[in-house]
Amino acid sequence: MIEGIINHNTEMNIEKQFVDSHGQSLLAFAVCHLLDIALLPRLKGIHKTYTTEELRDVELLMQMKNSFREKAISGRTLDTDREKLGGIKKSADGVEFIPQGSIACVSGFYVNMVERTIKLVGPCKATKHWPYGFRVFAEDTFTDSADYRTKIEQIIDKHIVENITTDVRISFRDDLRHEPLPEGFLLISPNQRHHIRGKPFLVQLGELIAAGNRTYGQIYNTLVQNGTPPFAVSGMIKNLFDKGLLDEMVF
């Protein structure tokens, strides 16, 4: 394939090279990139699985099994054998997990101009509930440009908040696992560990939030009544909120 595009014995300026599944590889992509030629393989497995309509406006991200970037298990692959998608690995503490990522590294408004729908979305680990790698915080429909602006502003006012009110039930994100520490707690995600420690009251704070059945006000009052300074409680909860460790689906 490479010899053909270099020694083609014509005066044509080749900009694209179409090949079948066997004509693509990391080496082929690298060489074509150096030659400023777009390598466009027909990936048989993908075209066999998806229709032309499903692949319209879809960008394919090439991922190899041994790549440092793990494959995101989402969409149709949620029901695929995990061993075929990078395998099961073990964390430092011996816990088995499936390396995860998101296919939707976007936060903001997802607008469908044909169906006239608006969704406020953010990336997340793909699950049965959120199969496409993003969660929907709010959604609405619009009729015209004026209504579109109104609906956007309403969603911003209601769901994009800077502070938590006392009546909101708070919990950790659903992809975080809570573990208590001597003077704090640990939040474990498939890709990262968050150490929250340094003060004795953090142990109880972590347990109260992990329970997921209390409001901000109830947690605040419980800790203050136990002798924790009010500013320490509000400051730590604000810190957890600003770092994105709390579940935002309640807003």
Q: What is the pTM of this model?
A: 0.61
Are the beta carbons of 37 and 15 closer than 8 angstroms? yes
pLDDT-derived band at 73 (thresholds 50, 70, 90) equals low
Q: What is the sign of the dihedral through the CA atoms of 111, 112, 113 and 115?
A: negative
Helix axes 216-225, 201-211, angle to 10 degrees: 150
SS3 content of the chain, % helix, strand, coil (to 5): 35, 20, 45
pLDDT over 70 (residue 70) = no
Mean pLDDT across 51-69: 63
More confident residue, 82 or 9: 9
More confident residue, 239 or 70: 239
Kindly report the number of other CB atoms within 10 A of residue 185's CB atom. Answer: 22
Are the beta carbons of 126 and 132 closer than 8 angstroms? yes
Helix axes 216-225, 230-242, angle to 10 degrees: 140
pLDDT tens across 107-129, in order?
A: 889 898 888 999 999 887 777 77
- What dihedral do alpha carbons 196, 197, 199, 203 form, nearest 10°? 70
pLDDT tens across 153-199, in order?
A: 999 998 888 889 999 999 998 888 999 999 999 999 877 889 999 99
Domain residue ranges in the chain: 2-62, 72-160, 177-242
- Residue-level pLDDT at 79: 63
pLDDT-derived band at 60 (thresholds 50, 70, 90) equals low
pLDDT-derived band at 207 (thresholds 50, 70, 90) equals very high
Could you tell me the two tokens for 77? 């692959």
Alpha carbon of residue 72 to chain centroid: 9
- Residue-level pLDDT at 65: 55
188 - beta bridge partners? 177, 193
Average model confidence (pLDDT) across the chain: 81
**DSSP state, residue 199:** S
